[in-house]
Structure 1
Amino acid sequence: MRCKVVMACLSVSIAITLVTFGGGMISTNYPALLRIYRQPQSERTQGPNPALGLKWNEITEVERKDAARQTCSPHSQSEHNGFKTGDSIETILGRINSTDPNWTKKVDNCYTYDGKQSPIPERLLEKRQCQKRLPVAIVIGVKKGGTGTLSRFLGLHPVISITREMPFPGKQVNASSITKWIQLMRFSSPFQLTMTESPGFFHSHLTLVFQSFLSSSVKFFVILRDPVDRAISEYLHYVAHSNAPKDRPFDVIYKNVRIQETFEKTILEPGGDIVVSKFTWLGLYIIHIQKLLNLYERDQFMFIDGDAFAKDPYPTMSKVEEFLGLPKFYKRSHFVKSKTKGFFCAQVPERPDFGCMIPSKGRPHPNVSEDVLRKLQDFYRPYNKALRDQLGLNFSWIYKKK
C-alpha cells in the first residue's frame, strides 16, 4: 500500500513538474490540480489527467522502477538502504544537562566564534567526537519566504549545527551522492542536532527517493509568506542574478525561466491570465504540502507565518524550541531591528560571528498595479483558504485582500 501511495504521488509530482518547467508558459485549470489530491489514491494513476494533459505512462520506466525500489525499502530508525541515519532527536537531546550553568559551551564545542566561525583543530574534533552527520531536521522552504534568515537564527542556538543553502544531493539520489552531501555539512557534536536548509525539498519530486535515506523521525520547517509578495521577491532575485540589461527593456531566459522587463509582463499572459511559471507555481503551497503529507506525518512539520516572523522573530524562535524540544536559549534581546533595513538582526553575545543578513536581502519591491495585485490575490485565494481548512493554519495573509 505504501508503494502505491508513493507512486501515485510521484505521478502527480513529475507530471506537474513537466507542465510547469517543460516548455513554454501555459495556463491550466488550477482547481483541477487541487482536486487531484482529493481523489482516492487509486484514481490518481488511471489514464490521462485532465488537469495536466499527461498520462501515467509518460513517466519513464526507469523513473518508475527507481522510485519504487528506493522509496519502498524497509524504513528503520538506524539504517535503511544500508545507510545509517544516526541518532534520533530524542537520543541527542537526552545527553544534554541543561541545568549545568556552562551547558551551552559544552554542547557547542566544534567551532570557535571569535569574530568569525572556525572549526577547532582536527585533534580536538576527534576527541570531542565532532563529525559531519545526516540532518535530523531540515528547513525545506519556501524559497524567498524567509528561509535564509530563519536558518541563520536557528544556527544561533547552541544545540543546532546548521548548514545553509544546501542543494539536493544531485539528480541521482543514492548512497554515494548522500555520502558526498553529508561531507558538505558542518561539524556537530554528539549533543547537537545536525540541520540544513534545502528549499528545493519543498517542491521537488526527488523528495520521494530522498525519503529513504532520512530518519523516519526527521523534522521539517516550512516558512510560508504571502504568495504574492513571495512571487515579486523571486522575480527581483532572478533579475538581480541574471545578465539582464539594467538600462533598457529586456526579455531573457535565466535558469530556464523567462524574465521580462516588468513583473506584470512576466507573470501575465497577453490576454491577462496568470502564467504558470516558477514565480507563481511555488505559491500554490497546499499542493506541495499535500505531496509531503503523503510521505510524512503532520507532527513532523512546523509551519511558520513568514510575515509574522519578519515583523517579530522572537515568538517564532521560542516555538521552534518547543517543537524540537530544545533547552530554552533564545531571549527577546537577541533580536534587534535594523534602523536602515527595517529587518531584524541578531545580537547574541555567545555568537559575535553573525549580526545581520547580507545587504542584498530585503530588496525594495517595484510598484505593481492594483489590478495585477488583485488578480494574483484572487488566483491564490482558494489555495490559501485550503491551508486554513485542511491544515488549520491561521496566518494573517490568508485573509488578505488588495
Structure 2
Amino acid sequence: MTVKDRIKSVAPRAAREQVRELMVRYGERTSDHRPLPDFLVIGTKRGGTTSLWRYLIQHPLVPRLFPAWNTKTSHYFEENWSRGEAWYRSHFPTRRQRAALERKHGGPSKVGEAAPLYMFHPLVAGRVADLIPQARMIVLLRDPVERAYSHWKERRGEGVEPLDFADALAAEESRTAGERERLLADPGYHSEAYDWYTYRARGRYLEHLEPWLDRFDRSQLLFVASETLYRRPAETYAQILRFIGLPSYELPAYDVFNDRPSKGMDEDVRAELSAYYKPFNAALADRLGMTFDWS
C-alpha cells in the first residue's frame, strides 16, 4: 500500500471517530432527557446474550443504544463507572423518542442493554441497585462446561489466548490472582485478565448471583437456561417479553449470533470439568428452584 493509499484509508476512520465523539458529547449534553434503562441482560458470557439482544432490538418498542452504531452495551457498570451517570444516560433514547415510538406502535417502549460481565463483576450488583433499583434483570445460564470451552475458543480466536484449553484452565488461578480483590478495592480499576481468562470461575454461577439475589426482589430476576433459548426460541422470547413488560411480537427467524460450537473438547478435560461443576450446579438448582439439563 502506498503512502497515498494509507492516507485515504485513515481519513475516513478519523472522520468517523470525530463524528462519533460529537455524538457522544451531544448525548451527554442531553442526558437529562434520557431515562435510565428498564432492563439489563447481565449474563452469562457465551450464553446467548448477543442472540437475545438481536431478538430484543427487532421488537418495534425496543430502541437501540445511542449512537446507533453502539452494539449491545455501554460497559458502564464494570469498565466505565468513573465516567458518571450523565455519560451512561447518553447511551439511551430521549423521552421524546420513546414517546414517538409508543404513539406509532401503541405500547410501552422498553430500553436496556446486554453485558455478560455485569453478573460476574463483584461491584456491579450494588451499583445497579443504587442507580436503577427498579430495573429487571435477565440472566442466561449455559452448561458451565460448554460455556468455559466456548469462552476459551473466543479468546483463542481473538488472538489473546496462546494456551490450549487444558493449560489455560491450569493457569487460570495464577493469571487472575488478586484481580477480584483489586476490583473491590479500586472502583476505577478494569481487569482484562478477570474478563479474559476466568474460564472456570465464571461457571460457578451461584456465587456470582448471590449479590443480585440479595439486592433485588426475585420478581426482578428472570433466569433462563441458554439451552432452552436455543431449543425453543419463540417460546422463550415470548416469556422474556412478558417479563420486561412488552407486547408480544413474533420474529421472522431466530438465528444464532456469534456462535462457536463447542466440539472437539478433550474428553478427560470434559470429565474433570463436569465433576468439578456438579456440586455448584446442584446448589444453583436448589437456590433457584430450577432444573438444568447440563453435563
The structural deviation recorded for 1:168 is 1.9
For 2:77 and 2:170, the matched residues in 1 are separated by 34
The residue correspondences of 1:2-401 to structure 2 (distance < 5 A) are 132-163=34-65, 164-169=72-77, 173=81, 177-186=84-93, 188-190=97-99, 191-207=108-124, 208-214=126-132, 216-242=133-159, 254=160, 259-268=161-170, 277-330=197-250, 334-336=251-253, 344-345=254-255, 357=257, 361-397=258-294, 400=295
Query: How many pairs does the alignment contain?
Result: 226
For 1:269 and 1:159, the matched residues in 2 are separated by 45
Sort the Cα spacing of 1:196 and 1:171 in 2 relative to 1 into closer, same or farther, 3 A: closer
For 1:321 and 1:313, the matched residues in 2 are separated by 12
Which structure: greater helix fraction?
2
The structural deviation recorded for 1:209 is 3.0
Sort the Cα spacing of 1:274 and 1:387 in 2 relative to 1 into closer, same or farther, 3 A: farther
For 2:41 and 2:206, the matched residues in 1 are separated by 17
Sort the Cα spacing of 1:296 and 1:152 in 2 relative to 1 into closer, same or farther, 3 A: same
Cα-to-partner distance string for 1:180-219 (whole Å, 9 max, x where unaligned):
12212345513411111122221213312342211x3210
Please list every run of 5 or more consecutive structure 1 residues that lacks an aligned counterpart in the other structure: 1-130, 243-253, 337-343, 346-355
Sort the Cα spacing of 1:329 and 1:366 in 2 relative to 1 into closer, same or farther, 3 A: closer
Q: TM-score, normalised by structure 2?
A: 0.69
For 1:178 and 1:387, the matched residues in 2 are separated by 33
For 1:158 and 1:290, the matched residues in 2 are separated by 34
For 2:219 and 2:50, the matched residues in 1 are separated by 23
Map of 1:107 onto structure 2:
none
For 1:173 and 1:269, the matched residues in 2 are separated by 29
Contact 1:220 1:301 in 2 (8 A): yes
Map of 1:250 onto structure 2:
none
Once the two structures are aligned, what percentage of the paired residues are identical? 24
Sort the Cα spacing of 1:178 and 1:146 in 2 relative to 1 into closer, same or farther, 3 A: same
Paired AA for residue 152 in structure 1: R
Cα-to-partner distance string for 1:159-198 (whole Å, 9 max, x where unaligned):
2224313212565746x61211221234551341111112
Paired AA for residue 136 in structure 1: D
- What SS is found at the alignment partner of 1:139? strand
Contact 1:165 1:197 in 2 (8 A): yes
Sort the Cα spacing of 1:379 and 1:192 in 2 relative to 1 into closer, same or farther, 3 A: same
For 2:38 and 2:130, the matched residues in 1 are separated by 13
The structural deviation recorded for 1:364 is 3.9
The structural deviation recorded for 1:222 is 0.4
Paired AA for residue 167 in structure 1: H
For 1:385 and 1:159, the matched residues in 2 are separated by 38
Contact 2:78 2:118 in 1 (8 A): no
The structural deviation recorded for 1:367 is 1.6
Sort the Cα spacing of 1:158 and 1:181 in 2 relative to 1 into closer, same or farther, 3 A: same
Q: TM-score, normalised by structure 1?
A: 0.52
Sort the Cα spacing of 1:387 and 1:178 in 2 relative to 1 into closer, same or farther, 3 A: same
Paired AA for residue 305 in structure 1: A
The structural deviation recorded for 1:311 is 2.1
Work out which structure has the larger RCO, using CA pairs closer than 8 Å and 6 or more positions apart in sequence. 2
The structural deviation recorded for 1:335 is 4.8
- What SS is found at the alignment partner of 2:237? helix
Paired AA for residue 200 in structure 2: T
- What SS is found at the alignment partner of 2:47? coil
For 2:246 and 2:224, the matched residues in 1 are separated by 17
For 1:309 and 1:170, the matched residues in 2 are separated by 26
Sort the Cα spacing of 1:170 and 1:261 in 2 relative to 1 into closer, same or farther, 3 A: closer
The structural deviation recorded for 1:284 is 0.6
Paired AA for residue 177 in structure 1: G
- What SS is found at the alignment partner of 2:63? strand
Contact 1:264 1:368 in 2 (8 A): no
For 2:214 and 2:51, the matched residues in 1 are separated by 28
